[in-house]
Structure 1
């Protein structure tokens, strides 16, 4: 029976185990699974059942920022690609998957758990690669709608229109729009999101095409408050920003907001130049505008502008010489991108040569607006911000950042023994230049720059034992330039003449990895692999709050070794049933002691942070064309949050369930269906992930005998049970 949302019921494991042939560990989810998940979700939430993937969120609807890891490597170490362009934040490498594409329009998500594609247009993929593919325009004119309602007053509307082929032009297009609103999952506040996806494509000849993809997202929400272990134990999920305002209350939810507006324009061109030669060129432009808001109190007399103390700020709404203010951190990024690949096929040989270019411009300040006695933000964040006596805007950060990347790669693939044996080898050369200026007086250096260059070879061999069985081995290298603008700039506090965050001259992170694996495809499908990674200059992504705003704060963690095994098994649909199981064992350790002041913490041999020893998922899917549903259970063992292993989050279990009924066509409504998603079934009060990592939570004796003070990590608290009911149809 044909469906309206792309479900084919052909992918093993209920859509969780599409067939693979690449000589690396790789897993793909398809529409058979994606279409049955909550439409509010995102790509990171949907891949949490795949081997090695640990996904955490502050709400069960999948709307807020997520945190994930693969094989013990953080999301900032994982490359994300969407329609041929990098999906990660350009500097901090955060993957805003929920801001780029609606779930209704995702065709597939592929996770390469370790070895990245040599031609992937990213520069942070030491921990693997996630590729999100968009659903193409349909061949016939039509469309689809989806209306969803659920927990926390959720309302979501989605509509997609497909042109079909326009005349005989071989041109087809689609455009979609969605609107989502709901109450915050914890505490007070609202979530609101408007999103647009569209794509037009023109095909000609045999294999040539040109397209244009456009994505726009407008996302606003109140922030969720992270917590220490002590706060979680005392308050559980009830610990959040407060609902009521009073002067001096910097924990009021109205001061802790997040906004993001993003626009992406992608124009891929595929040219079949001859029978053996083709050229793929993808230019793109991305404009990301983020706003982080926090709360702070400002002294009218004695506040600091960099290293300069201000005699009198003449602040409004003072209480005992102090004014409550909103700290505002806009992060507008403009990025130009080009990816060009030339492919030559001759007999058993396929040769590729590529060039990738990326330019980023970012101007990042932190400024302040006064809050009146009833909680109103003075002047509604307008041009009348807090100013100094000389008329200049009062700021504690004023940076101008530029980034330029050039990458060249070559890759050659040879097939032998009747195409059973495939040997591939390649080399990419990555070159990055960055420079930054800081206008705040007292900065250590006004202008800071850095350049990085790294050759990255790869090799892999695979052998097709039978049409159903494959073995492979690969050796790869990967590199990530330091994350965070704060590596190059300094943020000042309002209360001190010295920087609250210091410039840090960090080296790039470099990894060498090896994998060996086996696959079998048939009624029962099996994939297993062993892996080993050695990482130098490991940089752990963390954050610190300065003037009420969370700012990235990378930790230099020296060397790291990760070893383990992963497996997944799935049944091809049999009598409408498709079970799936995945698991991973991981042993990841820190290789050396970590510097702390003039001493060292004895961290050598300790278990690496955010690296659960064991994780597993089990699911089952049923779909007879009318009645459908699935159930997925996840288990994640405990994870350390400090390099000294003196604090960790407990292991946890989660489960999601889908039930639905797909009807026959009724008039213009083609295959309407109703669907119920229940997320976080049986969810208890548990910590799902990390806001910040620390060296040690408790006071620790250093290698040379110094007592090194501890610092509490901050954690993300998971949401409770959520239910989403959806009514959808094609037309």
Structure 2
């Protein structure tokens, strides 16, 4: 008997009567809208290895901001996500600040998906473009990736899939008002039309504002979303969702390694509040910010032609426009510059699939995925500004280029089924990965600040330009499960994931004179690049003990073509090349469920090792000593737990997250101390408040002990302590408290 059956039995028997536990509805319209458990039921017969966090986790573990899905999945083993502020909005650089099993995301691909569509990308906006109240559940895929999820520009570390809460069949309205520390305010409203003929519609709007927790600056975010479901009969259904997101915020400054050794003094260090008057002084908060407008449309069309035949078509589109402003220091202070990185790009594609059931033992799925995205990355429009008497003066381009689109095409095939005590899924995807060509142009102080004019007037740079590069790769996957008993199963799974870094272009531009002096073109180095792949294997067990689910597992990853900064004797230069092998392994243990009649818990424990499998030549006369060292920002040990205790209409949920020590360099000389974060969530469920059907009042305290800690380390995996691009470190969010009222009509 699974957990849901147990709970329903409890309800029937009156064990979970309203005066004991305030339990909300389990299933609405086939999706979990107000689920009771933190993690969805583990179906021992499913051929998958996915951890699904329910709306219960979303509302309780997402902190006050309710805007970043990573704050929820951070309670899973081996997931390292500690943002710079409690809102979870400020990424430390131009990528997602998340590591899974020690790995970081590569290239301009994003980690999250919406309804299994890879609409996220980096750099740019839209990272928090879905209000978390509009999410029914969150799937975390970190080892096994089925062929129809292994999509987008990169899947190297896994995917975080947000399942949208579909329009309700009942007319309803949800209002949420939050406020708290650092002038935090958030308003959310969602209206569901209910069923109108064959249609169901919802619309939502939210606004969020928050001062930075350290230094000057703020965050302003607006989200609007519309969803339409059309279901004229039992054979056809269409769901379409449109999202409009505006995100404007100032970034946080970082620390040097030396400053991390005295957090009592430097914890609140940030950019200067007052505009500097000294030339080339770039330390000012309003020169370190970002502003993006993002429009996204996703759809899911289903045709159930027969009981055994299903056709699905999922088109998606994202338009992202905005800019980063950031300071760039130089060893020669006179060359310190403020950079304005203009971004205007689109991501679009579609996933089509046909499924046929031959028998319970044999089901087939054949499909095709097309994904196209405009750069950046790499960057094509980065303007430089010098600081003269406290004012910004245009100083040419750091990057001036025209870039073609990246195109990924992936036909896939999968067979799955169940027979006797076994279940399986076996698939393969043949991927054609086309990296767009780059036409680079000379940039100097006399170039126009208008990009189109600059491209027309600037001289073409053949040394820094490259042709389209295409990779062709097989991406297999396999899952085997064995039902050992009624309440336990063993499984083994394998899949190959992929990624590609595009930073060779920026490296070449920064050191162009050195390369040109040795007669080395970017094309010569570009031709040596390879697609990074990771072969991932999991061994695990799923065990149901009454209302508790246990999931111990072991995993291993073999990474090929990992990028490393190497010295090439044939060219007598250093550059990033895909020549590295890396090895990762570890153990995880997750558990969740009911303890007695009024206590629920969630537990995640993990041990991770991730390192290069060899040393690299760093110059003509020296070799790195990094083989076997833990990669930067990859903690070996993590432990997380949340426990909810129900007392009448009250719910008390303390949570604890422990992260062990990490390093900021691959030589493992820059050690960052371990830290523990303690949060507390208290909710009270009222009835008939201001005419509502039910209202939940919530108080959330984050970092109760006011721990001084480093949240994120900004470092490339192969960065050395003596590197000219040294690691930087961001401090985490201090103690804060927030309150909210959620009214449902």
Normalised by the shorter chain, which TM-score bucket? 0.7 to 0.9
Q: Which residue of 1 aligns with 2:188?
A: 158
C-alpha RMSD of the superposition: 3.1
Distance 1:217 1:538, change over 3 A: same
- The residue number in structure 1 matching 2:606 is 584
Q: Is the 8 A contact 1:18 1:27 kept in 2?
A: no
Structure 2 vs 1, CA of residues 584 and 177 (structure 1 numbering), >3 Å: closer, same or farther?
Answer: same
Is the contact made by 1:23 and 1:473 (CA closer than 8 Å) also made in structure 2? no
Q: Which residue of 1 aligns with 2:366?
A: 353
| Equivalent position of 1:140 in the other structure | 170
Secondary structure of the residue aligned to 2:424 is strand
Tell me by how many angstroms 1:296 deviates.
6.5
Query: Residue 365 of structure 1: which of 362, 377, 381 is its match?
Result: 381
Structure 1: distance between partners of 2:521 and 2:75: 39
Aligned to 2:84: 58
- Seen in structure 2, the aligned counterparts of structure 1 residues 573 and 212 have a Cα distance that, compared at 3 Å, is farther
CA distance in 2, matches of 1:99, 1:24: 27
Q: How many angstroms does 1:455 deviate by?
A: 0.6
Aligned-pair CA distance for 1:490: 6.2
Of the three residues 406, 411, 416, the one matched with 1:413 is 416
**Alignment match, 2:133:** 104
Deviates more, 1:664-673 or 1:336-345: 664-673
Query: Structure 1 69/523 Cα, relative in aligned 2: closer, same or farther at 3 Å?
Result: same
- Residues 35 and 55, structure 2, Cα contact 8 Å, conserved in 1: no
Post-superposition offset of 1:334: 0.8
* Partner residue, 1:436: 438
Offset, 1:360: 1.7
* Cα shift readout 1:386-426 (whole Å, capped 9, x = no counterpart): 48xxxxx7564333231111001000013211xx3112211
Match of 1:636 among 655, 659, 670: 659
Distance 2:720 2:564 in 1: 16
Instruction: Confirm or deny: 8 A CA contact 1:201 1:211 kept in the other structure.
Output: yes
Q: Kindly indicate whether residue 113 of structure 2 is the aligned counterpart of residue 81 of structure 1.
A: yes
Pick aligned residue for 1:566 from 588, 593, 611: 588
User: Do the aligned partners of residues 534 and 622 (structure 1) sit closer, same or farther apart at CA in structure 2, a change above 3 Å counting?
Assistant: same
Give 1:300-699 correspondences, 5 Å limit: 326-348=338-360, 349-362=362-375, 364-368=380-384, 373=389, 386=394, 396-417=399-420, 420-434=421-435, 435-440=437-442, 441=459, 442=461, 444-480=463-499, 482-484=500-502, 486-488=503-505, 492=509, 503=522, 505=526, 506-521=529-544, 522-539=546-563, 558-572=580-594, 574-598=596-620, 599-623=622-646, 626-666=649-689, 668-693=691-716, 695=718, 697-698=720-721
Contact map agreement 1:215 1:264 (CA 8 A) in 2: yes
Q: Is residue 291–residue 329 contact of structure 1 (8 Å, CA) maintained in 2? A: yes
Q: Which residue of 2 aligns with 1:206?
A: 234
Q: Which moved more, 1:554-563 or 1:138-147?
A: 554-563
Question: Which 5+ residue runs of structure 2 have no aligned equivalent?
Answer: 1-21, 443-458, 566-574
Question: Which residue is equivalent to 1:270?
Answer: 302
Tell me the CA shift for residue 666 of structure 1: 3.6
Following the alignment from structure 2 to structure 1, what is the Cα–Cα distance between the partners of residues 55 and 328? 46
Residues 277/719 of structure 1: CA separation in 2 closer, same or farther (3 Å cut) = same
Whose helix fraction is larger, Structure 1's or Structure 2's? Answer: 2
Who is 1:547 aligned against?
Answer: none
Contact 2:119–2:348 (8 Å) recurs in 1: no
CA contact (8 A) 1:609 1:640 kept: yes
SS at match of 1:538: strand
| CA gap 1:654/1:80 in 2 versus in 1, 3 angstroms | same
Per-residue deviation at 1:3? 5.1
Shift of 1:540: 7.3
Change in 2 beyond 3 A, CA 1:208/1:697:
same
Cross-structure match for 1:702: none
Residues 172 and 69 from structure 1, CA distance in 2 versus in 1: closer, same or farther, beyond 3 angstroms?
A: same
1:343-396 deviations in whole A, cap 9, x for unaligned?
001212110001000122237311246767565x68xxxxxxx48xxxxx7564
Alpha-carbon contact 2:337-2:386 (below 8 Å) kept: yes
**C-alpha displacement of 1:557:** 7.0
1:87-122 CA distance string (max 9 Å, x none): 4316x6x9x774220111121111122111211133
CA contact 2:553–2:588 (8 Å) conserved in 1: yes
Are 1:728 and 2:742 matched, yes or no?
A: yes
Q: Which residue of 2 aligns with 1:220?
A: 248
Relative to structure 1, the CA distance from residue 82 to residue 555 in structure 2 (aligned partners, 3 Å threshold; closer, same or farther) is farther
Q: Residues 424-469 of structure 1, C-alpha deviation per residue, up to 9 Å, x if partnerless?
A: 2111111111222212355623343211110112222112233321
Is contact 1:641-1:690 (8 Å) kept?
Answer: yes
**Is 1:355–1:408's contact at 8 Å kept on the other side of the alignment?**
yes
Which residue number corresponds to residue 181 of structure 1? 209
Deviation at 1:493, TM superposition (A): 6.2
Residues 1:38 and 2:66 aligned together: no
Q: Is the 8 A contact 2:498 2:534 kept in 1?
A: yes
Q: Any idea what SS the aligned residue of 2:260 has?
A: helix
- SS state at 1:362 partner: coil
Per the normalisation by structure 2, the TM-score is: 0.83
* Structure 1 position 73, deviation (Å): 1.1
Give CA-to-partner distance per residue, 1:675-698, whole Å, 9 cap, x none: 111112213221112112374654
> Using a 3 Å threshold, how does the CA distance of structure 1 residues 233 and 98 change in structure 2: closer, same or farther?
same
Measured after TM superposition, the shift of residue 8 of structure 1 is 7.3
Distance change >3 Å, CA 270–CA 229, structure 1 → 2: same
Contact preservation (8 Å) 2:273, 2:284 = yes
Given that residues 698 and 711 in structure 1 are in contact (C-alpha distance below 8 angstroms), is that contact kept between their aligned partners in structure 2? no
Whether contact under 8 Å (2:110, 2:118) holds in the other structure is no
1:28 maps to 52
Question: Which residue matches 1:257?
Answer: 289
Paired residues of 1:286 and 1:335 also in contact (CA < 8 A)? yes
Could you tell me how far 1:39 is from its partner in structure 2?
4.2
Residues 184, 430 of structure 1: alpha-carbon distance in 2 compared, 3 angstrom cutoff: same
| C-alpha distance in 2 between matches for 1:51 and 1:163 | 39
Counterpart-to-counterpart distance in 2, 1:51 and 1:461: 22
Q: 1:117 to 1:78 in 2, by over 3 A?
A: farther
CA apart distance, 1:185: 1.4
Q: Which runs of 5+ in 1 are unaligned?
A: 304-320, 379-385, 388-392, 542-552, 700-708
Offset of residue 610 of structure 1? 2.9
Alpha-carbon distance in 1 for matches of 2:101, 2:309: 38
- SS class of match (1:88): coil
> Distance in 2 between the 1:606 and 1:662 partners?
50
After TM superposition, the score normalised by the length of structure 1 is 0.84
Q: How far apart, CA to CA, are the structure 1 residues paired with 2:701 and 2:273?
A: 28
How far, CA to CA, are the matches of 2:716 and 2:336 in structure 1?
A: 29
Cα distance change on mapping 1:118 and 1:631 into 2, 3 Å: same
Give the C-alpha shift of residue 327 in structure 1.
2.5
TM-superposition CA deviations, 1:19-46 (whole Å, max 9, x none): 2444454322111121124341411111
